[in-house]
Structure 1
């Protein structure tokens, strides 16, 4: 097995991120500042767990949002500017190209930025299951993808979006992490947030929900 995976974690501009979660932090009011705090909290809990996982060499955020960039750098992590247009897959492909140009032997991966219940051991186990193979982890519904890992020295070739699990399987990726619920629980809606709370939210997400008195609804 190679020495470790470099995980790219893409993050949209905050004004456009996680629109279906708007109001989840403030009883449906939808205050943009509070929403942004929740999105950043989801990200920081994801990054904290990912960087501590065995098998992960580096965690790199891909974003052009200045607030997100500052929060990530404050954690001592690297930020890679996303291309000016093209969406999630273009951002990840850009990151993959950049990493491979610096080290042709690097192993590139992508991890969703909204895994607030992620446990390091779940991510580590999924990486161990992958070995040196191209691999992906499906979300808890089984249709989306929370993690994609390229084979060492190979481009990421991301196919995120609706039905991405099927596309990644068709690309030759093996499915891993089926028994690792915290790696499969990405958060797009309030129902997802409640599911993540049932697994145990990270401290940043708990703090934001507690600040705006949402713990009674999300069991944090």
Structure 2
């Protein structure tokens, strides 16, 4: 087991609605429940990490929120459903700040169905000395252009730039990339090709089961 700083508090946005994971295209027509399965596997993997004290999930769908809460997440309703990722993150960070308490903070996107507790712990352990120097730490996506995780010493020191080219935007803010060898954590899923890569690495139980049930219909 990799040692990591205790007491990490995570914020994970779980976007829903018709636009959720629209780049998966025809896959969603065959497997419409896929975005939720990916999100639930991502959140469950984060909650299982021993370095993580809490996970605040930002979600606008009541039913999905109940299922996330059943895993042990703290569900934060979106103040403006459909307004985008950054406003949702602002809601999550505000809720986190209102709870008080200490410990470092990280945003982890909820589209990493391959995430395993040990890889997340390794990333957080590598981020800890970066944060101690007053900098943000990032885990880049597999392509190196996006960001799957952004960490800071506190919610107030976290400056999310998620969106196209976020890796460069965070680097310009002085963030340092960590976890470059963590292939499971870095494999986010937005496209059919990325989904295939994730399946090869091994995805969580809900994503696995859902795709297995759908496979006969897709054949």
| TM-score w.r.t. length of structure 2 | 0.88
Q: Hey, what does 1:117 align to over in structure 2?
A: 114
Kept in 2, the 8 Å contact 1:93–1:156? The answer is no
Q: Does 2:84 align with 1:87?
A: yes
Pairwise CA distance, 1:160: 0.2
Kept in 1, the 8 Å contact 2:56–2:96? The answer is no
Q: Alpha carbon RMSD of aligned pairs, Å?
A: 2.1
Which aligned runs of 4 or more in structure 1 are off by greater than 4 angstroms?
A: 214-217
Kept in 1, the 8 Å contact 2:59–2:76? The answer is yes
Q: Hey, what does 1:103 align to over in structure 2?
A: 100
For 1:214 and 1:137, how far apart are their aligned partners in 2? 36
Q: Among residues 31, 34, 39, which one is paired with 2:35 in the alignment?
A: 39
Q: Hey, what does 1:174 align to over in structure 2?
A: 176
Q: Among residues 151, 154, 169, which one is paired with 2:153 in the alignment?
A: 151
Mark the CA change 1:148 to 1:212 in structure 2 (over 3 Å): closer, same or farther.
same
Q: What are structure 1's unaligned runs of at least 5 residues?
A: none
Structure 1 window deviating more from structure 2 (173-182 vs 87-96): it is: 87-96
Mark the CA change 1:183 to 1:198 in structure 2 (over 3 Å): closer, same or farther.
same
Mark the CA change 1:64 to 1:131 in structure 2 (over 3 Å): closer, same or farther.
same
Q: Does 2:12 align with 1:12?
A: no
For 1:128 and 1:79, how far apart are their aligned partners in 2? 26
Q: Hey, what does 2:202 align to over in structure 1?
A: 200
For 2:178 and 2:93, how far apart are their aligned partners in 1? 21
Q: How many residues align?
A: 210
Q: Among residues 134, 137, 141, which one is paired with 1:135 in the alignment?
A: 137
Q: What are structure 2's unaligned runs of at least 5 residues?
A: none
For 2:155 and 2:168, how far apart are their aligned partners in 1? 23
Kept in 1, the 8 Å contact 2:76–2:91? The answer is no
Corresponding residue SS for 1:98: helix
